[in-house]
Copies of this chain bind each other. A is one copy, B any other.
Amino acid sequence: MDTVKVEIITIGDEILIGQIVDTNSAWMAVELNKQGFELAQITSVHDNAAHITEALDNALARAQVVLFTGGLGPTKDDITKQTLCKYFHTELVYNHEVYENIERLFVTRPNVMNKLTAAQAMVPANCTVIQNKVGTAPIMWFEKDGKVIVSMPGVPYEMKTAMADEVIPRLQQHFKTPGILHKTTIVYGIPESQVAIRLTDWENSLPANIHLAYLPNNGIVKLRLSGTGDDKELLEHDMDERLQGLLPLLGDGIVAHEDLPLEQIAGRHLTANRQTVATAESCTGGMAAKLLTSFSGSSAFFKGGVVAYSNEVKMQLLGVQENDLEAFGAVSQQVVEQMANGVRRLLHTDYAIATSGIAGPTGGTPDKPVGTVWIAACSAEKTISQRFQFGSLREQNVQRAAQAAMVMLLRIFKP
């Protein structure tokens, strides 16, 4: 069967004046893609009835599904609901379940339920209402000539909850999409083009129901294997077997076998083993610590870290030797290994990671140009370190160095 085409229309001024970045659409794109839907276009328009209608007409001419986000607030700017009513030749009617949902939410909120919010209980007569479990604006599902139009709030948490729990499962059911299974392998340190060359034969031997996608990001290449089939167990077994074939082709380049941020994979490993980690950061300036604390449960394995931006702090807190700083410079194997071991001893942890580099845009030398970063990881038994050469942009260098520190942490776990 053909792929079901989906389009997203975001409504509201915030994106068009640059007040917010449209992260919603990227998240939706990933989730739709994973379930085998094809996202054909994203359109961002103002709260303007004529413009919304035109965008919807154009989208329906191309796609089977149109997903609206935004424009459902209680203020008079927000006209999505009225516009959809007009489009579907219907009128707003009172929906008691929506009203009860709003009442339920307001019990835990310090605001007073007011007239405007109660007006959210008015919904177009001919839509299927999907309750919004985490917000006041209901989700509205319309059908027209076999096509589906869904209107959701633009608040990311509300949109994500609605998409994951209701909209995607209902779309799968509506379009009878085949069962789909994904397996992800994360590769680091081999450029995408090199990975592709090494996997040519392996990829060519995949059966028609299993497809490989390359998802490169910040130095990482995610290999996502997607398979379709009615017998899920058989499919899973087949995919696992094929993934085994990657090991001899990519070797140490394989960092993990699941689709999670590296810091979460590291965190889970540490938690399971009741072990701890500390960070010593120079050029990443706190970013590695931030990654390790970016999810719930991080206090179980992360005790803390030192951002040692000045050499004084490197020496005083981390015990880096002054003569090594002088002889080799702060961006060196000697210093970064001392930083890692220093913070591990200081904070009494099982592991530690350290970064020292030249984030840029200034500070580069012919020997150590901007983007040069030394990263170390250590345990009580051993220390590993590596020199990385990233690019010329400061923010990107910090992101990539913090990412590489997570790779080094996963590597030090290995016996």
Interface residues of A in 303-358 (CB under 8 A from B): 303-310, 312-313, 317, 346-348
- Asked whether B299 lies within 8 Å of A394 as measured between CB atoms, the reply is no
State which of A91-99, A265-273, A281-289, A375-383 sits at the interface with chain B. Answer: A281-289
- Asked whether A21 lies within 8 Å of B23 as measured between CB atoms, the reply is yes
A274-294 vs B, CB cutoff 8 Å, 1 = contact: the mask equals: 000001010011111110111
Check: A86 CB closer than 8 A to any chain B CB: no
Which residue in B19, B157, B293 is a CB contact (below 8 Å) of A217?
Answer: B19
A11-30 vs B, CB cutoff 8 Å, 1 = contact: the mask equals: 00001111111110111111
Distance, CA A95 to CA B250, complexed state (A): 42
* Chain B residues closer than 8 Å to A285, beta-carbon distance: 286, 289-290, 292-294, 298, 302
Q: From known contacts A17-B33, A39-B16, A41-B44, infer whether A286 and B305 are also in contact, taking CB-CB under 8 Å.
A: yes
Check: A393 CB closer than 8 A to any chain B CB: yes
- Asked whether A296 lies within 8 Å of B362 as measured between CB atoms, the reply is yes
* Chain B residues closer than 8 Å to A216, beta-carbon distance: 19
* Chain B residues closer than 8 Å to A23, beta-carbon distance: 21
Interface residues of A in 36-61 (CB under 8 A from B): 39-46, 51, 55, 58
- Asked whether B18 lies within 8 Å of A26 as measured between CB atoms, the reply is yes
Kindly provide the distance from the CB of A343 to the nearest chain B CB, expressed in whole angstroms. Answer: 10
Kindly provide the distance from the CB of A90 to the nearest chain B CB, expressed in whole angstroms. Answer: 26
Q: From known contacts A298-B309, A304-B309, A308-B304, infer whether A16 and B43 are also in contact, taking CB-CB under 8 Å.
A: no
* Chain B residues closer than 8 Å to A295, beta-carbon distance: 394
* Chain B residues closer than 8 Å to A317, beta-carbon distance: 304, 317, 346
Distance, CA A365 to CA B377, complexed state (A): 37
* Chain B residues closer than 8 Å to A279, beta-carbon distance: 286, 307
* Chain B residues closer than 8 Å to A310, beta-carbon distance: 299, 303-304
- Asked whether B39 lies within 8 Å of A296 as measured between CB atoms, the reply is no
- Size class of A's contact patch? 35 or more
Q: From known contacts A17-B39, A26-B15, A33-B18, infer whether A289 and B307 are also in contact, taking CB-CB under 8 Å.
A: yes
Distance, CA A309 to CA B393, complexed state (A): 30
* Chain B residues closer than 8 Å to A25, beta-carbon distance: 15, 18, 22, 44
Distance, CA A146 to CA B359, complexed state (A): 45
Kindly provide the distance from the CB of A162 to the nearest chain B CB, expressed in whole angstroms. Answer: 16
Kindly provide the distance from the CB of A342 to the nearest chain B CB, expressed in whole angstroms. Answer: 13
Distance, CA A39 to CA B19, complexed state (A): 12
- Asked whether B18 lies within 8 Å of A313 as measured between CB atoms, the reply is no
Check: A219 CB closer than 8 A to any chain B CB: no
User: Which of A18, A284, A306, A307 is packed against the most chain B CB atoms within 10 Å?
Assistant: A307
**Chain B residue with minimal CB distance to A313?**
B304
- Asked whether A41 lies within 8 Å of B30 as measured between CB atoms, the reply is no
Distance, CA A16 to CA B37, complexed state (A): 11
Check: A215 CB closer than 8 A to any chain B CB: yes
- Asked whether B309 lies within 8 Å of A299 as measured between CB atoms, the reply is yes
* Chain B residues closer than 8 Å to A29, beta-carbon distance: 15-18
Check: A395 CB closer than 8 A to any chain B CB: yes
Which residue in B42, B281, B284 is a CB contact (below 8 Å) of A16?
Answer: B42
Check: A361 CB closer than 8 A to any chain B CB: yes
Between-chain CB contacts (< 8 Å), 27 pairs? A15-B29, A18-B25, A18-B29, A19-B217, A20-B26, A21-B26, A22-B22, A25-B44, A41-B51, A42-B42, A58-B58, A279-B286, A279-B307, A284-B290, A285-B293, A286-B288, A286-B289, A293-B307, A294-B394, A294-B398, A295-B394, A296-B362, A299-B310, A303-B313, A304-B308, A305-B309, A312-B348
